[in-house]
Each structure stands twice: as structure tokens, then as C-alpha cells.
Structure 1
Amino acid sequence: MKTPRAGRCLRSGLLAVLALSGCLLSGCAAADGTQAAEAAEAFHRDMAGSNMTAACSLLQSETRKETARSSDAGTCESQLEKAKIPDPGKLLSTEQYGRDAFVEFEHDTVFLAQSEGGWRVTGAGCTPNGEEAPYTCEVGGK
């Protein structure tokens, strides 16, 4: 049985893959996703350094609110402490499609969205989920 959070992540992952697929077909991929990759790497550095306040600040506002709501303590920081986000390993690829990006590491996939404040994480700790749904995410997934 899937939890409601898992269902949201699965639906969100499917939407993200469909949006990215549409961009691939229409050629809207940007040539450089460096800033998105830097934001994903910063998120992982903050997580590895147990700086949950900084890691939460790198989440997109709705993702941060959703993360806080899913915590027993009601804070983003407490939920990130419990999240099972793996050490990402080596950066493999970055693809930017308009205001969205997909950063793939050896052991994690991070989804991001561009905002006025720069790139913000919308999904982290995401792993391919085969045929059932494209990705399951520990945090966010939208």
C-alpha cells in the first residue's frame, strides 16, 4: 500500500518526465545547466554537513512547506534529518528545460525549478521506479 506522500511523488515524477519528454521533442533544452547543478550539489553538501537550515533554504517554497507538514515536529529541518537521501556520488549529467532542470548523480536524482532567488530543489533523493512510475522521491518530487 502506498502512502499519500508516495503517491504525490509518483504523480509528480510522472509529470516531470512528461514535461521533460515534451521539451526533448520540441527542442527546448538549454545548453548549460551549470547553475542548477551547483544548487543540487549545494543541497547535498548541506545535507552531508547536517546543515538542515541551509538545505531547507535551497528547497522551492512549496516543497519546503510540504516537507515541514510531513514532519512530526512540523519543521523542514526535522524532516530532512529523517530523510534517507543518499550520498550523491559523482555528477553524471544535467539537463535544463526552460525553468526546470534535472540533475543526475551516481546515487541520486534531483529536480529543480528556477525562481527569482535562483535554482531551488523540488525533488531530492529521487530514484528511478521502473514501469510503475518514473521516480520516487524522499523529499518533494514536484
Structure 2
Amino acid sequence: MKTPRGDRALRIGLLALFVLSGGALSGCAPEGTAAAEAAEAFHRDVAGSDMTAACSLLQSKTREETARSSDAGTCESQLKKAQFTGPGRLLDTEQFGRNAFVEFENDTVFLAASDAGWKITGAGCTPNGEEAPYTCEVGGK
């Protein structure tokens, strides 16, 4: 059983991985609540089948990877295939410099700040143990 301190260290480590893999961008970081709003908007768009709007909330690299993983070659078609569940209640939002994660009851969303606001780098993420801390429906690589 993991302790809250262990979970926090795991999240910080994963955020550091995003930074090292190009998740960090230059400029001023928006407020942490904006990250939660972006994550909530993504889930609203997916639930409402507005995959174009949902794809626009993905960081460009994540959007491109999502499109490449689709049989049809589009971000929208891959999001339609993804197995998203309702996120549930918002539990926590943490920001570490230009990166953030938003934890819901049934999902964790990872984000990076950009000039256009918070963009999603991983969504539909669930804890997966120590070696691969999270498995994500979209992004998270």
C-alpha cells in the first residue's frame, strides 16, 4: 500500500519526466486553477463528442502522437476509440513550475503551460505501479 507521501513523490517524478521530455515551455505559467479548468473542459468535450474541441486542448506533440496512433490518422478518430470514463469529482490540482496534474476520482490529467494556456500532455491516466507510474489513454509517454 502506497503512502500519500509516496504518491506525491511519484507524481513529482512523473512531472520531472515530462519536463525532461520536452513538456516544459517558456513564458509565464497561468494559475493552477486554469489547469483544472482545461482538464474539465477536455472531459466535457469528450463526453459531448466534440473531439475537435478536445483535440485542440492537447499539447501539439500529444495531438500529433494521438493522430499517428489512429487507424484513420486523426486525433479526433483516436479520441473516439479511447476508453474514457467519467472523471468523477475533482480531488486535487498541483502545479510544479510549467507542469501540472489534475486528479479526479477516476482520472489523472497531466498538463504543460503554453502561451495559449494549459495544454494536456496525458489524459485518461490511471496509476500503474512503480515501473510505469501511469497508463494513459492519450499521451503520457
* TM-score normalised according to structure 2 size: 0.79
- Displacement after TM superposition at 1:100 (Å): 0.3
Q: Which amino acid aligns with 1:55?
A: A
What is the rounded CA distance, in whole Å, between the counterparts of 1:14 and 1:75 in structure 2? Answer: 30
- Displacement after TM superposition at 1:15 (Å): 8.7
- Check if 1:82 corresponds to 2:75: no
Matches within 5 A, 1:116-127: 116-127=115-126
- Displacement after TM superposition at 1:18 (Å): 5.9
What is the rounded CA distance, in whole Å, between the counterparts of 1:123 and 1:18 in structure 2? Answer: 11
Alignment root-mean-square deviation, CA: 2.1
Give 3-state SS (helix, strand or coil) of 1:119's partner: strand
- Displacement after TM superposition at 1:131 (Å): 2.6
Please name the residue that 1:44 is paired with. Answer: 43
Equivalences, count:
120
* TM-score normalised according to structure 1 size: 0.79
Structure 2: where are the runs of 5+ without partners? 1-9, 18-28
Structure 1: where are the runs of 5+ without partners? 1-12, 21-29
What is the rounded CA distance, in whole Å, between the counterparts of 1:18 and 1:109 in structure 2? Answer: 12
Q: Which runs of 4+ in 1 moved over 4 A?
A: 13-16
State percent identity of aligned pairs. Answer: 78
What is the rounded CA distance, in whole Å, between the counterparts of 1:102 and 1:75 in structure 2? Answer: 25
Matches within 5 A, 1:4-83: 17=14, 19=16, 33-83=32-82
What is the rounded CA distance, in whole Å, between the counterparts of 2:86 and 2:128 in structure 1? Answer: 19
Q: Which amino acid aligns with 1:71?
A: S
- Displacement after TM superposition at 1:14 (Å): 8.4
Higher RCO (CA-CA < 8 Å; seq separation 6+) = 1
What is the rounded CA distance, in whole Å, between the counterparts of 2:34 and 2:12 in structure 1? Answer: 23
- Displacement after TM superposition at 1:121 (Å): 0.4
